[in-house]
Structures are given as C-alpha cells and as structure tokens.
Structure 1
C-alpha cells in the first residue's frame, strides 16, 4: 500500500516536467500519457501524502505504542530509529537539490518548481524543520510532509509514554484536532497530519481487537466493499474528492490492507524491496526531474512530457534508482547509525 501511495505521488508530480521556473509552460493536462486511465491520479495523486500519514499511524501504534507505554523503548532508542531512517537520504537530496538549483538559476530567473532557495529556508531544512511554521515549500519540496510528520512522532511518543496509547486517548486527540479544523484555528499541515496519523492508529487498535475473533472476516469484507465501491460512487456521482471524504476512506483502505496474503517465498524479497523503496522514491523523484531538465536543456532538446515511452522510462528510472539507493546508501547508513 505504501508503494502504491508513493507511485501515485510520482505520477502526480510528473507534470513538473512542464514547468519553467515555478509555473507550467503551455501545459495541456489532458494530453499527459494514459490520461483517460490515470486521470484520478493526475488530479488527486498528491493525496497519497495523507494516506502515507495514515499508514504511518497504523504502523507506529501497532509496533511502538505498547512498548513506549510500558517504557520498554526509551526516547533515545526511538530517536535513533527515526533519525537513521529519515535523515541520511534527506541530507543527501537536500544538498543535491541545492547544487542543481544553483545550476538552474544560471539560465532562469527563478528556481525550478519550488522557490525559497535561500539560506533562511536552508537552515530549517538541515533540522527537518522546513514546514513547522509558514515557511512554504523549498529545496526538495516533497520533504514537507516528512518535516511535519517528525513533529507527530514526537507528539506520539510523549502521549504514549505519559498518557498511554488507549483507544480513548486516540479519540480525544482526534476530537481536539477536529475542533481545531472545524473552527479554522490554524491552516497548519501539522493538524492534518495528526488527524490521519491517529485515525491510522485507531485502525491499528481495531485490527488488534478483531484479529483473532469471529468478526475478523466480516470486518475485512466491509472494508473491501467500501474500499472498492467508494471510488466508483465518487466518480459516478461526480463528487469532488475532498479531504473530508478521504479522511473517512483512509481507515477502510488501511484495514483492507491488513489481509494476510501468503505470497510464494521466492517473491518475499521483491515485495520487501517495493516497500523499502517508498521513502527513497519519494525523496529522489524531484532531484531526478531537476537533473533531467538540466540535461535536456543542455542539449537543447524539448522534454517529451506527452510521450508514453518517456513517462514509462521516468517511472522505471526512479524505481531502479530508489532500489540502488536503498541497498547501497540508506540501509548501510541505518546500520552505521544504529550500531
């Protein structure tokens, strides 16, 4: 599920190839490759971020909530686990984008896609704090969602440690967030992330309660029916796919993903690889786009954004690069830091 959420974001951001500076140039959305099939992704693929947040909440509650509450996992160990997973690739892509944007600015009046490429925005980026306030997108823009999520990790740890990780605590957090959103007390993405993270956490709690009961099969069936039918209902009713609808949809989607499907052993490595590539593909796709734009401009070639072969080559290229990066950079750096 994480892989397909990441893939949706990659396809959604494919339109970056139409940008000159920070705006698309003579861009025809409906001419993008496989538009008839991928229209929902081209229009709403960015909502994969919210699905990511929900999945993260599910994983964190399922894996860490009890051990944090029981003080079997201390703050230092939790920090090292998160830091080793997130920071090395973030720093690498931050420096890479900074260098490539300098090259891009030699022949353009503004930076590519994301502005704010200055020291005032670079310093917070070093601390994964780029979007804790209203600083706007900068450098490797997609990192914004990770920056927000880092704060939620801290919130989750503190709440689980000092107040517990019960179902009622999660409801209280969701009610507070809903109150804040309803009265427009802030437009910060932090509250959005907290909402999806904790609804993912509540899904994990529901999964734990039903996993070994007679209600497991019927609950899975309900989740599959909602997950499968809802998109068609939205399409047929011509309903705008709002974040409210997505918020209601995400827990069903995550719960449906808990089905235990036994794949042949020979495919286990490939399935694990796809899961491991999600973070690297998310952070690498924009630097790769910027590099490709510079190369095409250097040779005076127009980017064939409407060509299906170029579309396929880009997706295949980012997946291969992500696999290599995880195997030869991310994983070794994790091992070094954790040791």
Structure 2
C-alpha cells in the first residue's frame, strides 16, 4: 500500500469539529449587554442543530484524539529514535500555533479593555488582568483559574502540555507499545477526576495513539479490506443513534434507572468509543482508496482560524451592540447566524492564507538562516 503523507478525512473531521464548537458557543450571543440564555430552543435552526447546541462542547474530544493519532503517526518514531530533534519539533509547533494565538490574544485584550473602560464587564470571560495576560501570552492559559481572554483557546493550552508529555513519552518508551498507551488513557481517567480539562486531553491524545497503532498494524491485512465498508457503515449508524440519544436520551435514561449516572456513562462511551472508532474508520476508509475526502480537506486547513477567531468576532459584535447602538435582534436571528458564519469563514480563509502560512514560513526560514550563520560564520 502506498505510504500516505496526509489523511484528508481527518483534516475534514477536525474542521467539522471546529464548526461544531462554534455552534455551541453561539450561546454567547445571548449574553451581550448582560443578557442570559434561558431557553436553548430560541437559537436559530434549533430543530436542525440541537445536538450541537446541546453537546457541541464534546467536539473538543475530536481535537485531542485526532492530534494523538497524527502526532504518533508523524512524529512518534522520529522523536523516539532521535532522528527528529526536539528543537525542530517545537519550532514546527511554535511557528504553526503562536502567530495567530498572539494576534487574536491582542485583539481580544484590546476589545475587552475598551469595554471595561466604558463601564462594562468583560464579555463572557473575566479575569482580564495583566498577570493573566502574561500567562496567556506564554501559552500557559491552562494555569489561569477559569477561562480568560480568548477563552475557547483553553484546549490549545492543554495541547501544549500534551506535547510536553508526548515528547517525554516517546523518549522514555517505545511509541508503538500498546500497553503503555492504554495505561496513559487510564491515567487520563484518573487525572480527569481533579483536573477535568487536562484529563480530557490526556484521554483523547493517547487514545489517538492507540487508534494509530491499530490502524498501522491492521490496514495492510488482506482480511481488513473486506471490513472497510461495513466498519464505515457501522460508524455512520452509531452516529445516527447518537443523534437519537441527543434528542431523547434512551440509553442514559435506562442507565439512570439502574441507579447509576447515565449521562456520565454515555459521555464516556462517546469519548472512549465513538470518537476513536470514527477516527479509525475514517483513516482506514481513506487508506483503502477513498478519494472524495480530498475535496473536504480544505475545511481542515481552516480549523485553527475558525477556533481562534470565532470569539474575537463575537466580542467585536458585542462591542458594536453595547457601544455603537447596533440592534441585537437581527444578529440573533437566523439571518444573523448565517451572516456570522459567512464572515467567520471569510476571516478564516484570509487568516490561513495571509497570516498563518506566511508567518509559519517566515519563522522557520529565519531560524534556519540563523542556524546556517552559526554553523558557517564565513
């Protein structure tokens, strides 16, 4: 089988997960001017989008699991065998993540300070202080109590911590050993009891490592080719059931009738079952020749921009309403919802083309040029 360099299906899944989180955060639009969302059903297109309005926050599990899969795939052996230095690894991560992180952090800080200077509270996320700004600036926002500044970016702060754990893991253990990977998932379950966000990250990331190992070991087996379509069909069927569960809760209600916390178990089944299965099914489906995923991969390119720009855009709208007298009702309407996503996608495309990629290239070229100058001063 031809060695793959990119799985477009996983890129598409990452982009769709980002859009799901944005829909979940649409509730912020009802907090403008001190408002409150008391009835989720008033949100635009609720009958169609209710799973995302109710449970869109769970899409973050996809970020962690997809990251684990991709990092064990692309970097695991290289870091373990030291054919990839940690300096190059962190340069790649810094150049990809930091430029847009810095820009959106500054935008959010300026908008929040402007609101606060006019006598308003900070919008949605509090803790707009210099110490918290410094921690956010250093990608240490996980260590700030509560979410601050560009609040949805908390998961990126967790990702940075996961990269540290990943580097230690690959240097101390063999990344293809299944038992330690499963052990790390169990550790994540334990951590989640006291550090909910970090525990979720550890569970998802190392579950992604398990999925990668399963895919690597099984994808070339002849008998596996016969299971690709049935497995993909099963995954789709389970997602259809997940929609039923989101609307009517038959499984969680049944579990609750047994005297256990039904919703918690359903959430864990999603986190440890459906998400890893979906990543495995997508990777297997594409590696066995499915080509149409390539048409959807541009959605994945916009993931980071969608995720980092959606709250600054909401904050800008809130500022226009509170300070500029812009009417709120049209913004909360179905047309306003569509317009918001259209603007967000346009900003994300521009951000990817004119900020993220150029900044990434510039940083890497500058560091490479400096290394050459040090190695060969003449």
TM-score, length basis structure 1? 0.91
1:48–1:187 Cα change, 3 Å: same
Q: Is the 8 A contact 1:18 1:27 kept in 2?
A: no
1:76 aligns with one of 75, 84, 87: 87
1:282 aligns with one of 299, 307, 327: 307
Alignment of 1:117-132 (within 5 A): 117-131=128-142
- Alignment partner, residue 371 of structure 2: none
- Alignment partner, residue 362 of structure 2: 336
Alignment of 1:128-147 (within 5 A): 128-131=139-142, 133=143, 135-147=145-157
Q: Relative to structure 2, which stretch is displaced further, 243-252 or 146-155?
A: 243-252
- Tell me, in whole angstroms, the C-alpha distance in 1 between the residues paired with 2:81 and 2:335: 53
**C-alpha deviation, 1:179, in angstroms:** 3.9
- Tell me, in whole angstroms, the C-alpha distance in 1 between the residues paired with 2:110 and 2:153: 17
Specify the SS of the correspondent of 1:112: coil
**C-alpha deviation, 1:216, in angstroms:** 4.1
**C-alpha deviation, 1:75, in angstroms:** 0.4
Name stretches of at least 5 consecutive residues in structure 1 with no aligned partner: none
Pair 1:33 & 2:35 matched: no
Pair 1:16 & 2:28 matched: yes
Pair 1:221 & 2:246 matched: no
1:233–1:109 Cα change, 3 Å: closer
**C-alpha deviation, 1:128, in angstroms:** 0.3
- Tell me, in whole angstroms, the C-alpha distance in 2 between the residues paired with 1:320 and 1:220: 35
- Tell me, in whole angstroms, the C-alpha distance in 1 between the residues paired with 2:321 and 2:130: 28
Q: Is the 8 A contact 1:20 1:112 kept in 2?
A: yes
The runs of 4+ residues in structure 1 deviating greater than 6 Å are: none
Q: Relative to structure 2, which stretch is displaced further, 208-217 or 112-121?
A: 208-217
Specify the SS of the correspondent of 1:137: coil
Q: Is the 8 A contact 2:30 2:332 kept in 1?
A: no
- Alignment partner, residue 277 of structure 2: 252
- Tell me, in whole angstroms, the C-alpha distance in 2 between the residues paired with 1:273 and 1:149: 22
Name stretches of at least 5 consecutive residues in structure 2 with no aligned partner: 1-12, 253-262, 366-378
- Tell me, in whole angstroms, the C-alpha distance in 2 between the residues paired with 1:104 and 1:162: 48
Q: Is the 8 A contact 1:281 1:319 kept in 2?
A: yes
Q: Is the 8 A contact 1:220 1:255 kept in 2?
A: no
- Tell me, in whole angstroms, the C-alpha distance in 2 between the residues paired with 1:223 and 1:205: 18
- Alignment partner, residue 4 of structure 1: 16
- Tell me, in whole angstroms, the C-alpha distance in 2 between the residues paired with 1:283 and 1:42: 19
Pair 1:324 & 2:350 matched: yes
- Alignment partner, residue 293 of structure 1: 318
- Alignment partner, residue 209 of structure 2: 201
- Tell me, in whole angstroms, the C-alpha distance in 1 between the residues paired with 2:187 and 2:270: 19
- Alignment partner, residue 168 of structure 2: 158
**C-alpha deviation, 1:234, in angstroms:** 2.2
Specify the SS of the correspondent of 2:349: helix
How many matched pairs? 330
- Alignment partner, residue 376 of structure 2: none
Q: Is the 8 A contact 1:142 1:282 kept in 2?
A: yes
Q: Relative to structure 2, which stretch is displaced further, 6-15 or 99-108?
A: 99-108
**C-alpha deviation, 1:245, in angstroms:** 2.2
- Tell me, in whole angstroms, the C-alpha distance in 2 between the residues paired with 1:249 and 1:306: 33
- C-alpha deviations, 1:109-133, integer Å up to 9, x for none? 31000000001211111110011x3
Name the structure where helix makes up a greater proportion of residues: 2
TM-score, length basis structure 2? 0.82
Aligned Cα RMSD in Å?
2.0
Larger Rg: 2
**C-alpha deviation, 1:105, in angstroms:** 1.6
Specify the SS of the correspondent of 2:227: helix
**C-alpha deviation, 1:67, in angstroms:** 1.1
Alignment of 1:110-121 (within 5 A): 110-121=121-132
Q: Relative to structure 2, which stretch is displaced further, 205-214 or 224-233?
A: 224-233
